[in-house]
Copies of this chain bind each other. A is one copy, B any other.
Amino acid sequence: MKNIIVGIDIGGTTTKFGLVDDQGVVIYHNSIETQVREDFRDYISDLQEAIHDSINKVDSSLRIKGIGVGAPNGNFYRGTIEHAANLRWKGIIPFVELMEKDFRVPTIITNDANAAAMGEAIYGNATDMKDFVVITLGTGLGSGIVTNGKLVHGFDGFAAELGHVNVNPNGRQCGCGRKGCLETYVSATGLKRTVYKLLADHLEDSELRTHSFDELSTKMISDCALRKDIIAMEAFEYTGAILGSKLADTVAHTNPEAIFILGGLAQAGDLIFEPTIRHLEKNLMTIYQGKVKVLPSGLPNQTAPILGASSLIVNHYKK
């Protein structure tokens, strides 16, 4: 009888799940749409059915050791998804309770960036690190902080909301209701906003003038920057400058060995890493300079969220 862990990554559009074996190999993965059902109970039923189906398909003798879940506003302490801005179900969803009722195995939930941090610790580039930070750059900016070898959940389970440290109290409007939060500048959406700001302020020719805001993607902006489009290059410089300067404050909090930059925007590689590192170093206190590594994920892009979620269970049994 083979043991497996179920890893689930809940996104606004798609819920990915996979079966992960003891060697950290994703032996099967699939997905369902997240928001087609009006009642979250129906969504969770669909997900449970899809997991049961997948096990029957792969090997019905598989034994589930546990279920790890990364979800927007996933609360580690309460096993809930709480007031997630980009999910249709408002209020508090008792996700862990409903999963444990069906599967009768330990189920652990946390936010997606915390799951990504644990993924780096168990399977990725942080296996020998006790103090590091993970930044995920997608639609927003998520983060996970590890100190003394443990994820920081904080008093109430909402630690590491670095997307909402303040860059400018009179700055860009944020989905959280405040102004000038880091993720309004540093994220896939933030990069698009910066492109539009630069197009408004400057007269330079740019391929980017031919695309609507809704069409624009990180990939398009990256490709333009690689072709030396001045607006696109400046947008990455501006993004890296803000991220680097705010990460200097993060270093002054937990003095990490490394900061991992993951997610869609991280795929832009040096376009985002180079200015971020340069501005981070420029803003660090002398005692930190030259000592903080800024690194990409050590996990395969496609299955990283599933591995990250499943690593919560690996960590649970390690104790």
Copies of this protein chain in the complex: 2
**Contact pick for A254, options B83, B131, B154, B283, CB 8 Å:** B154
B254 close to A291 (CB less than 8 A): no
Q: CB within 8 Å of B: which of A111-136?
A: 129-132
A155 close to B257 (CB less than 8 A): yes
- Given A147-B148, A155-B131, A166-B245: A176 and B285 interface contact (C-beta under 8 Å): yes
Spot the interface stretch: A35-43, A50-58, A157-165, A264-272: A157-165
Chain B residues near A166 (CB, 8 Å)? 245, 248-249, 283
What is the size category of the interface that chain A forms with chain B?
Answer: 35 or more
- Given A152-B148, A245-B169: A176 and B255 interface contact (C-beta under 8 Å): no
A residues touching B (Cβ–Cβ < 8 Å)? 82-83, 129-132, 145, 147-148, 150, 152-162, 164-166, 169, 176-178, 245, 248-250, 252-257, 283, 285-288, 291
Most buried by B among A130, A158, A250, A254: A254
Identify the closest chain B residue to A250 (Cβ): B253
**With A and B bound together, what is the CA distance between A257 and B160 in angstroms?**
14
